[in-house]
Structure formats: structure tokens, C-alpha cells
Structure 1
């Protein structure tokens, strides 16, 4: 049995799209203007159905079946029918499902502007620039589930936007075992990583943890800075910081190399070095963070053409919230 869509059954619509068990009555000319694929599809022969058109007599509408899910098609129609293609995401954060549907259907129906604007959202939240990425409040955009990072990987593969992959894979790795089971789309279908990309997550996890250990060891290496006037005290303090991690192996093996410096140390531990050495430690940490970021494609075992090694120098000031890190 077929059901009229509650949102897109327009009284003066000129075509009926059938997706699953849902019918959408919309404007054929408007959709054809956006999509050459739909224009070609509408030009083919289809069955017609007489449907009411306001106070006028019934009009014949072609009935066109598409293979998309009703939920995905609804996202596409919201964009096209509203006529806001050039300002899709102004002053709002779209859901993962909206971005996913718009990119997948935008690719399928060759709606370049839709794909471009949707990819812009992903580039903003999964950037290739370390400083932009580091200032993000979390691994994922607002109100997105961690496991949806695997959907970003799939969208990057679909569109060839490989610059999205490092940040997306990092988010997948920290999503843990949930990526194995995949994510559930709005229509109830399950989306998973390809076997090769699932292997990337498994294989890279140990390399990322190894990188974290290297970052910690090099950050707190017991060598004071050249300007240090209390070298013996600072050397001892740095060595004690490393030794304090002996009882906190989890920090060494399960942390990420980008977390704030203070989180490397056990709770309540005070570094106890001079101001000059404290600045040196902070500079080491920034250098190490950038170094790992520059090697992310190598650590992940993927190719990202044009991935730029970050400049290994201390920024003018740390990001907000990490002045002491």
C-alpha cells in the first residue's frame, strides 16, 4: 500500500515520486532545473495518474519510482522545494543524516551546489589544518553521535575528498568498538565501514598509541632548557613527571597524542619546573602535536594527496582553555 507524504504532497504538484511506500507530489520543472539526471528521468515514459488540483479539474501526473529511501528523498526535497540552495546551512548546524542524504543524493542526481555546500560543512568540522581542528570543541559536530564518524569516512570515499579522512578516522578510532557494528540511518538500514577502512581503524590504533607514548616521553624528557638557572631541580622534576606515569599505564597506552599536557600527568601532580622550563615543555608539546598531525596519513596507512606538514613552532598563544597546558 502507498501513502501520501505528510510534508511533500503539494496540491499543485506536477509529478509523483514514489520512494518505498511513500508518494511525494512535487514540482517536476523545479526538480529538473536542479538536476540533469532527474530531467532525463522525467523525459522518459511513465504511467500517469489523475489527481485533484485545487478547485480545478483533475490533472494527469506522471508517477516516477526512485530507489531512494523516503527519509533521504525528503531531505533533498526540503532543499529544492524551499529554493534555498545557495544558503543551505547559514546560521544552523545540520544533522549527520541531512548531510549524508544531501551528499549521496546530490552525487546521484548531479546537483553540484548541494554536494559542494554539504562538503563545506564536513571540511569545517574535519579540517586538514591542525590549528583549526584542535580548536574544535569535540571530535564530532554538535549533536552528532561518535559512530557517525564512519559515515564521514564513507562520504569522503564517495566524493574523493581525502582531506576529510585523517580527522574522520581519528574520530572513528576513539569511537571504539561501535564502528564495527555501524550506524543506523533514519530509514532503519545499517551503514558500515568497508572491510579495508575497518582494517585502517584496527591497524592504526596501535600506531596512534605508540605515537602518544612518544609524545609523552619527548615532552617530559629530563633535559632542562638552555636558559634554566635551576637545572638540577628542573631535571629532577621532569624525571619525576615521567616516573609518575609508572602507575598510570593507561595514560601511556590509551590516550591520544593531542590531549592537553596536564592530562598526561596523574591527578594532582605539579610539574615543579622554572618558568623557562615550563615554557619549554609547552613548546615541546605543541611541536609534538603538530608532528603527529603531519604524520597522520602515515600512521593511518592511507594516502592523502597534498597533506601539509604543519609548521613545528609554538603558536603566539595556546587555544582557549589550555593556557596552562
Structure 2
């Protein structure tokens, strides 16, 4: 077992042990809670770990900090989680990156989508359901839209049955949250298609012609992309309208003015998806901020 795996299990409460006492304990003196001993130790290690931590470690800290009412632990864990499960579009753009991680055992490796911030790594298929439950536990409702959004990317069978934890238990969604995710999957799929259609078609051209350095070449480059989109008839396996199209846009041979305009249109379309996200998930989040500034 690697050091990271042992650390994660320690925080999950599966191998917590109380160190042997250096002096005899009086019979009336209560034994320390094993989880609390592990929590104090893990806090020191968290302070030393300034980089990115896996979600299960941070979630375990938050659960234990909440259980024992240790505010400093709770706040440390929350501050990391809020870099990913944020309510501000500006924070989302500044800190969240979508990428992949390689999972599986030797001989059966596969890539899976993940979210990265400077201090947190989240793998939706294993972490999203637990994230919703932890967020509800600590009553941080402004973090729910992003957590439930990630749940919509989880396979239907996993949504229905839950995800097994290291201790053998299961993280499952409440019936109410499960219905939210099922309803939102269709809406988010439509938003994914609508965003791509808007970007690859006419909207971003408005007002650009006068500044375009090579109008014919730029239009031809986009026309080739549009044709490829139509002919591919791609069915996206996961509705993911918050995913940036900037990498695809940058592959086109566009002049500087058209590239800037198209990238700006992509940001605006993503911002619109963000603005509608709480409503798409049937949530009321007064703090939700869809502006480009914090």
C-alpha cells in the first residue's frame, strides 16, 4: 500500500489506531476517540501538503472536522473544496481545469474525466455523489450546483446504486437529488449541443468583418469545421456544456481578430450555461454569480 493510499484510509477511519499510552490511564479517564487522534495527525500532514489533494482525503477531513466541531479543520477542507465546487463563474474560470486521469489495474488501464484545481482533484464517477452528501452535511448550498452537475456525468447505474466507499458502505443520492440529476441530464445535453451550434455558426461573426485580416480564409476555416461537425453526426456520451471549446477553436486557421472574437463568444456561451445551472438543477442559490468578475 502506498503512502497516499494509507493516508487516505487513515482519514476514512478504516485503520485509525490510538497510540499506546506512555503512562497508565486512570479507570475514570476516558480513552481518546480513535478518529480524533487520526484527525489531529492528519491535520499536521495537510498543513505540510501545500499541493493538490484527492477529493476523498479532503472530504474525510471535512466530515471528521464537522463531527468533532473542529472549525479550523472544517475551514481548511472547505477552502479546498470551494476552489472546485464554487458559486462564482470568475472563480470557476480561474481555478478549474477539466482533464483526465488514468485508472484501472495493470493490463486494464483507461482514461477518465477529472477536475483539477491547484489544491483539489475530483473524479466525478467516484467523488461526485459523496460531494453532494458532504456539502449537504455542512449546509453549504452554494456548492451544490457544481456537485450535482458532476453527478449528471455519472453513469445511470452508478447514480441509482451509489458508489462503494473503502469501509464497504455506499454513498448514494437522496431521492430528491437523484430526480434533479435525471431531469438535468436532458437539459444539459441540449445546452451542450446548443453551445456548439452557436460557436460554430454565425453569432461570433457579428461585428468582426471590419477587423478581420483575412475574411475569406477565416470563413473557409470555419466552414470546414462546420462541415465536419455536420458529417460526423457526433453523439456526445456525456452532457458537458461547461467544457471549454477553446482548444478546438485554437486549431482553426483564423486571423487574430477572428480568433479573439470566437474565443470571447465561447466564454459568453459558457457563462450563460453557468448562469442557468441552478435553475436547470431545480435549485435556488441566491449567491450564484455568473459575472466575469468575482
State the TM-score, normalized to the length of structure 2.
0.71
Q: Is 2:27 aligned against 1:60?
A: yes
Question: Per the alignment, do residues 124 and 259 of structure 1 end up closer, same or farther by CA in structure 2, a change over 3 Å counting?
Answer: closer
1:295-314 paired onto structure 2 within 5 Å: 295-311=276-292
Q: Is 2:86 aligned against 1:127?
A: yes
Tell me the SS of whatever aligns to 2:17.
strand
Tell me the SS of whatever aligns to 1:139.
strand
What runs of 5+ residues in structure 1 fail to find an aligned partner? 14-52, 66-72, 313-325
The answer to whether the 8 Å contact 1:291/1:310 transfers is: no
Q: 1:256 maps to what in 2?
A: 240
Any idea what the Cα deviations from partners look like across 1:264-312, whole Å, max 9, x if unmatched? 69xxx97454443233222211221122122211222212221011239
Q: CA deviation at 1:197?
A: 0.8
Q: 1:181 maps to what in 2?
A: 161
Q: CA deviation at 1:104?
A: 2.9
CA distance in 2, matches of 1:75, 1:8: 9
Question: Per the alignment, do residues 238 and 78 of structure 1 end up closer, same or farther by CA in structure 2, a change over 3 Å counting?
Answer: same
Point out which structure has higher relative CO (alpha carbons under 8 A, 6+ apart).
Answer: 2
1:99-138 paired onto structure 2 within 5 Å: 99-128=58-87, 129-135=91-97, 137=99, 138=114
Tell me the SS of whatever aligns to 2:242.
coil
| Aligned alpha-carbon RMSD (Å) | 3.5
Tell me the SS of whatever aligns to 1:215.
helix
Any idea what the Cα deviations from partners look like across 1:89-139, whole Å, max 9, x if unmatched? 642555544433433343333222222222122112322322134336532
Question: Per the alignment, do residues 288 and 143 of structure 1 end up closer, same or farther by CA in structure 2, a change over 3 Å counting?
Answer: closer
The answer to whether the 8 Å contact 1:95/1:143 transfers is: yes
Tell me the SS of whatever aligns to 1:214.
helix
Q: 2:178 maps to what in 1?
A: 198
Tell me the SS of whatever aligns to 1:295.
helix
Count of matched residue pairs? 254
State the TM-score, normalized to the length of structure 1.
0.65
